[in-house]
Amino acid sequence: MRDVLQHIAARDPEFFERLVLQTLRAIGYGADEGSLEHSGSPGDDGIDGVISLDRLGLDQVYVQAKRYAPDRKIHKEAIHGFIGALHLQGANKGVFITTSSFSLGAKRAGEEVRGLSLRLIDGDMLARLMIDHQVGVRHEAIPIPRLDLDFWEEG
């Protein structure tokens, strides 16, 4: 998992924002590839991406992606800022993803919000999701020869 996070850290923030959207798509978010909208840029008002859960875009998930060093935690002020950005959008679903971790205050802020479905994903969970869903990771099978007993049966 550390290898995945190290490779993310070596890339620019926009790459990370797009990677987050790809990972969410790989785990089942979005109606199709066209459902992913990268909106991250300076002045993005705290929203780095939007995923339409249906083809008409009536149900959407808003995404915030923070590529931080492992020792730099996300604090509650960042969560409060994201919650404010969600309210400005009229959104009711949000995912905040970081390469680092969340402080206890940030976790509480995410759990205590009312009228909003909010999920916090830290670097370890992100790496596990990427590995499980083969985003930037390839699963290789090593062929192991075994005797085919059906072939050798008389008959």
For the chain, give the percent of residues with pLDDT over 70: 95
Please report whether residue 151 resides in a domain.
Answer: no
| Domain range enclosing 127 | 2-138
> Residue 123 corresponds to which tokens in the numbers above?
């670097």
Q: What value does the mean pLDDT take over residues 115-140?
A: 94
Confidence (pTM): 0.86
Tell which phi-psi region holds residue 121, choosing left (phi > 0), alpha (psi between -120 and 50) or beta.
Answer: beta
Lowest mean pLDDT across 24-28, 36-40, 52-56, 89-93: 36-40
Please report whether residue 44 resides in a domain.
Answer: yes
Question: What's the Cα-to-Cα distance from 115 to each of 79, 87, 90, 91, 145, rounded to whole Å?
Answer: 15, 10, 11, 10, 56
**Whole-angstrom Cα distance, residue 10 to residue 133?**
21
CATH number, residue 28: 3.40.1350.10
- For position 8, what pLDDT does the model report? 95
Please report whether residue 12 resides in a domain.
Answer: yes
Please report whether residue 153 resides in a domain.
Answer: no
Please, what is the average pLDDT of the chain?
A: 91
- For position 4, what pLDDT does the model report? 94
Chain length of the chain: 155
pLDDT per position as a tens digit, 45-56: 789 999 999 888
pLDDT per position as a tens digit, 80-99: 999 999 999 999 999 999 99
Structurally, the chain folds into a number of domains equal to 1
Residue 145 has pLDDT above 80, yes or no: yes
Q: Residue type for 150, please?
A: D
> Residue 58 corresponds to which tokens in the numbers above?
């009536």
Q: Residue type for 40, please?
A: G
Confidence band, pLDDT 50/70/90 cuts, at residue 2: confident
**Whole-angstrom Cα distance, residue 150 to residue 154?**
9
Please report whether residue 143 resides in a domain.
Answer: no
Q: Which residue's entry shows tokens 């020869």?
A: 145
Residue 42 has pLDDT above 70, yes or no: no
Please report whether residue 107 resides in a domain.
Answer: yes
Please report whether residue 149 resides in a domain.
Answer: no
